Amino acid sequence: MNDRLRCFCEAQDLTGAAGWLTETRRRLHRHPELSFQEADTAALVAERLQAWGWQVTTGVGGHGVVGTMTLGNGRKSIALRADMDALPIQEATGKPWQSVHDGVMHACGHDGHTTILLGAAQHLAQTRRFSGTVHLVFQPAEEAGKGSGAQRMIEDGLFERFPCDAIFGLHNSPGVPTGTFGFMHGASMAASDSCRITVHGRGGHAARPHQAVDPILIAGSLVVALQSVVSRNIDPRHTAIVTIGSMHSGSAYNVIPDSATLGLSIRSFDAEVRNQLEQRIRALVTAHVAGYGGEVTIDYERGYPVVVNTGPETEFARQVAEELVGPERVISPFPPVTGSEDFAYYLEKKPGCFLRLGNGADSPMLHNPRYDFNDELLTVGAAYWTRLAERFLEPV
């Protein structure tokens, strides 16, 4: 057996790369691109990968880029994913590398995720200590909601064209100490659905309510009734959220309007609970509005599914983190979060794990105009991806 392949990446191996990684991250930060517009980011990624000897495929599901490298005779294959898009937020960090595009910023750290994966790409290509295939998946449009980048890459044949045994992704975590890894097997991020309810009543004069069907009264009672779905229909051992985030109707004191609309955000951690929520909301709203003599239109839209990390892959990913940074810098189990991620679509098709990497205890939260990715994570993140690939593709 080749002993060289028994030697795995250590955290300090990437220390020398800190300079170019930081420079790359800040360059991406300065030039953020919104979902579906990541042309320049994708071009930078493709150019670097090519220069390091990766086989590069561009235009996968839009601006997606896949870098592939096969070494030795190992049959296994691993996919590592980074997201590339920015958000429609006006940056307020005041940093020298602040976004040059008005109203667009990397407020979720995807600039950092992309750079970390580039760091691993460079190091894996240089050290060549694996036997099998590595696919680096640079994904566009993670923030897009419906029809997001993960869905598009899968529809464009990601797993048929670049077959893998498992897929891994990471997200930085504000509020968690810098460089601390977090792992959770099973449901770790929520499914996120939305629902728009339009109550159609019959408008009229405020002084003659008996001749109208008041949509404001119906909407008001719906706000209360909807809270019974979580409290009285969902098994209390499960988590579910129904938030009514918007309510609009009417424009004058003395007029009963024709209609009222409610906007709901619905979160869950379990496919069955998710179905039950939709079914109960539809049934309750329909019957409730009918009881008041109104009519209703329900536009229920499924967003990202639950992120479900598979047991063996999560355990493997956790072990690799412990080897790299020691158990004191690994949180397991990491508490599930009620945010959502389109990485969930990959995990519906392949085993894998979506892990967290602390962005610092004092870091502003994600999607905040003051948020910035912590550059200290770049080398440890790149070392982690490198070691994960080396260990996954260790010769047997």
Residues in the site for Ni ion, rule: CB under 5 A? 108
User: Which residue, 25 or 280, is less far from Ni ion as judged by CB?
Assistant: 25
User: Which residue, 42 or 281, is less far from Ni ion as judged by CB?
Assistant: 42
Residues 6+ apart with CB under 8 A from 362: none
Whole-number minimum distance, CB 161 to Ni ion, in Å? 25
Q: How far apart are CA 68 and CA 74, in angstroms?
A: 14
User: Which residue, 31 or 171, is less far from Ni ion as judged by CB?
Assistant: 171
Whole-number minimum distance, CB 48 to Ni ion, in Å? 22
Q: How far apart are CA 170 and CA 380, in angstroms?
A: 12
* Cβ proximity of 40 and 32 under 8 Å: no
User: Which residue, 133 or 172, is less far from Ni ion as judged by CB?
Assistant: 172
Whole-number minimum distance, CB 17 to Ni ion, in Å? 23
Q: How far apart are CA 281 and CA 286, in angstroms?
A: 8
Number of neighbouring beta carbons within 10 Å of residue 331:
20
Whole-number minimum distance, CB 172 to Ni ion, in Å? 8
- Let me know how many helices (H) and strands (E) the chain has, helices first: 10, 16
* Bond prior to 215 in cis (omega within 30° of 0): no
User: Which residue, 56 or 108, is less far from Ni ion as judged by CB?
Assistant: 108
How many angstroms separate the Cα of 130 from the Cα of each of 142, 232, 392? 29, 53, 8
User: Which residue, 46 or 108, is less far from Ni ion as judged by CB?
Assistant: 108
**Rg, Å, the chain Cα set:** 24
- Residue of minimal CB distance from Ni ion? 108
Whole-number minimum distance, CB 339 to Ni ion, in Å? 8
Residue ranges in the chain assigned as alpha helix (H): 18-30, 39-51, 110-127, 149-155, 158-161, 215-232, 271-291, 311-325, 343-349, 377-392
**DSSP codes joined into one string, 54-85:** -EEEEEETTTEEEEEEEETT---EEEEEEE--
User: Which residue, 108 or 136, is less far from Ni ion as judged by CB?
Assistant: 108
Whole-number minimum distance, CB 37 to Ni ion, in Å? 16
Instruction: Find where tokens 């940074």 sit.
Output: 325
Whole-number minimum distance, CB 128 to Ni ion, in Å? 31
Whole-number minimum distance, CB 252 to Ni ion, in Å? 43
User: Which residue, 35 or 133, is less far from Ni ion as judged by CB?
Assistant: 35
Question: Residue length, the chain?
Answer: 396
